[in-house]
Amino acid sequence: MKIVGWLIRILPFAYMVLIWNLSSMPDDAVIELPFSSLDRFIKESLHLVEFAILYVLFVIAFLTTGRFTVKRNLFCLVIACLFGITDEIHQSFVPYRSATIIDGVKDITGVSVFYYFVYQAYFKNRFTRLKKILNFFISFNSRP
């Protein structure tokens, strides 16, 4: 269980590297769908979930330590949002990429929505199914 816990704790950082590397490529380098409007819609929609996933990975990492608190939840929110903003700035220096304020707003909105659900589930005992999923990761706690 200790090894799994450590692997889970590494995931947010590995995901950050993945995001950074993908952001370093031109917009159509990974995949381009045949219909440009669908391609654009999907890529724009990904802003809502891309950094929300990062937030969730940090939450899960903290859950495996047994030290997940309201402050640490807020820390996860701030880190995911700041990395989203940093990534937008980074994209402004990449050829064939762009950075817009609206993309940053989408990144922060996605993280904030997930923050709301995690906060309500874990600390306010709402959304019981989500709470059960979050509690599952506590079992990987390496502390005695």
Write the single-letter amino acid at 36.
S
pLDDT confidence bin for 38, thresholds 50/70/90: low
Q: What is the mean predicted confidence (pLDDT) over 131-138?
A: 94
pLDDT at 144: 56
The encoded tokens of residue 25 equal 């490529």
CB-based contacts of 122, cutoff 8 Å, min separation 6 = 68, 73, 131, 134
pTM of the predicted model as reported, rounded to 2 decimal places: 0.88
Q: Give helix then strand counts, H and E, for the chain.
A: 5, 0
pLDDT confidence bin for 33, thresholds 50/70/90: low
Enumerate long-range contacts of 67-74, CB under 8 Å, 24 or more apart: 68/122, 70/119, 70/123, 73/115, 73/118, 73/119, 73/122, 73/123
Its sign, for the CA torsion 85, 87, 92, 96, is negative
| Cα–Cα distance for residue pair 111/105, rounded to 1 Å | 10
Its sign, for the CA torsion 89, 90, 95, 98, is negative
- Using alpha carbons, select from 80, 113, 112, 98 the residue that is nearest to residue 26: 98
CB 31 within 8 A of CB 93: no
Instruction: Please give the mean pLDDT across all residues of the chain.
Output: 88
What is the tens place of the pLDDT at every residue in 41-96?
Answer: 666 778 789 999 999 999 999 999 988 999 999 999 999 999 999 999 998 898 88
